[in-house]
Amino acid sequence: MRRMIAGAALALMSLTGTATAEDYPERPLMLMVSYGAGGATDFQARIVTMTAGNEDALGMPIAIINKPGAGGRVGWNWFATQADPDGYTLAAYNVPHFIAQSIKGGVEYSADSFEPIANWGADPAVFVVGADSEFNSMEDVVAFAKENPGKLTVSGAGLFVGHHIAALQIDKAAGTKMAYIPTKGGGAAAMKAVIAGEVMGGINNLSDAFRAQEAGNVKILGVADLERNAFLPDVPTMMEQGLDVDNSSVNFRGVMVPKGTPPEVIEKLSATVPEMFANSRVAKKMEAGGSPMHIMTRDEVIEMWAQRQQTLNELLAGL
């Protein structure tokens, strides 16, 4: 009798042992977004996870939890130190934001604290000015900045986010010094400052700037990316306008888990999640909202993180 129970227990143990990897996920998952409800990251996270409950995806829904504050530092601090590495707690990452913040210090995370799963979107930074501004190209902007050092006010979503990185790169490439004005309240507040004429120009997300241009409120002068964007085929890149600005400031958004998550869970997620992003319904909604998609697998993201780490180390070393 005793042997039978022991055998049954053993069989059960081995069963549950394999079951954790195979049956995962067996309950709904949580995705932490370190920006407020309604922001671009939150909005996109809600779209790309909407099919998670489908049988061909994870088979379990993903709930979004917002932990906003200090340009994402609050949420990522929480994720690095307090989130359970059980595969049920995911987070959205924003590169270059969290890498730049970890280089500048004062936070409890670095790229080594997290394991990337997959990337869903890439939103380049663009340079915008008010619709009635006298600037019509980056050349005009740089010329003004050279004549008036420190006087060209440029708004952006915060310090050490993609917008700030783009501003630093423009300064470095053109040998200028712009007055970068971080705003509280993210890209929307920075855009409002441009439209209302509180600042002379701004650096903002391509998706938000595209909308503002459609509404006739701003002009977009340049894209900080390697190639022109499908949403804005007429707007030249910074490189085309003679500024040596690469794609370091492009805001990559994707999903990650904390370090220490079981490898079989990571494997399962990194196989399923890119498929989930590629769903045609997701693509349609993202396209409608003016959000550029860019799906990358785990290996590609690991490489991209390492590249960013290196460029940002160099760029921020002088500050």
Partner 1 sequence: MDFIYYFGDVFTPLSFMLLLGGTIGGLILGATPGLSPTMAVALLIPFTFQLEAAQGLILLGAAYTSTVAGGAVSAILLKIPGAPANIATTLDGHTMAKQGQGARALQLSFLASAVGGVFGVLLLIFLTPVLAKWALAFGPSHLFWLAILGVTVIGTLDSASVVKGLLSGCIGLWLATIGFDDIMGAQRFIFHPALGGGINIIAALIGLFAIPQVLTMFAKGRHNTGAEVIEVQRHSILEAFRELFSRTRALSIGTLTGSIIGLIPGVGGQIAGLVAYDQTKKFSSEKDKFGTGHSEGVIAAESANNAMVGPSLVPLLTLSIPGSPTAAVLLGGLLIHGIFPGSDLFDNHPDVAWTFINSMLIGQVLMCVFGLYVAGLAARVAQVPQSVMAAIVLALSVFGAYSVQGSMGDVYVMACLGIGMFFLERFGFSAAPLVLGLILGPIAEANFIQGGMIADATVGKASYFLTGGLNLLLIAVVLASIAYSVWMELRHRRYTTKEEAQA
Residue with tokens 């894209």: 223
Among 1, 4, 55, 106, the residue binding partner 1 under the rule CB under 8 A is 106
Amino acid symbol at 261: T
Among 195, 278, 283, 316, the residue binding partner 1 under the rule CB under 8 A is 195
Sketch the per residue contact string, 269 through 298, with partner 1: x for CB under 8 A, - otherwise: ----------------x-xxxx--------
Q: Measured from the CB atom, is 122 or 209 closer to partner 1?
A: 209
Is residue 212 involved in binding partner 1 (CB under 8 A)? yes
The sign of the torsion formed by the CA atoms of 218, 219, 224, 229 equals positive
Among 24, 48, 57, 77, the residue binding partner 1 under the rule CB under 8 A is 77
Shortest distance in whole angstroms from residue 101 CB to partner 1: 7
Please give the Cα distance from 215 to 54 (Å, whole number). 36
What does the DSSP 8-state code read for residue 45? H
Span interacting with partner 1, options 11-19, 65-73, 248-256, 258-266, rule CB under 8 A? 65-73
What does the DSSP 8-state code read for residue 14? H
Q: Where are the alpha helices (H) located in 82-125, listed in sequence order?
A: 97-104
Q: Measured from the CB atom, is 47 or 166 closer to partner 1?
A: 47
Q: Scanning residues 13 to 32, which ones bind partner 1 (CB under 8 A)?
A: 30
First to last CA, the chain: 73
Is residue 74 involved in binding partner 1 (CB under 8 A)? yes
Show the tokens assigned to 119.
């990337």
Show the tokens assigned to 9.
């227990």
Sketch the per residue contact string, 215 through 244, with partner 1: x for CB under 8 A, - otherwise: xxx---------------------------
Shortest distance in whole angstroms from residue 260 CB to partner 1: 18
* Percentages (nearest 5) of helix, strand, coil residues in the chain: 45, 20, 35
Is residue 42 involved in binding partner 1 (CB under 8 A)? yes
263 preceded by a cis bond (ω within 30 of 0): no
The sign of the torsion formed by the CA atoms of 6, 8, 14, 16 equals negative
Q: Measured from the CB atom, is 181 or 316 closer to partner 1?
A: 181
8 A C-beta contact, residue 74 and residue 80 = no
8 A C-beta contact, residue 99 and residue 265 = no
Residues that bind partner 1 in the complex, under the rule CB under 8 A:
30, 36-39, 42-43, 46-47, 50, 65-71, 73-75, 77-78, 81-82, 101, 104, 106, 150-153, 158-160, 179, 181-185, 188-189, 191-193, 195-196, 198-199, 211-212, 214-217, 285, 287-290
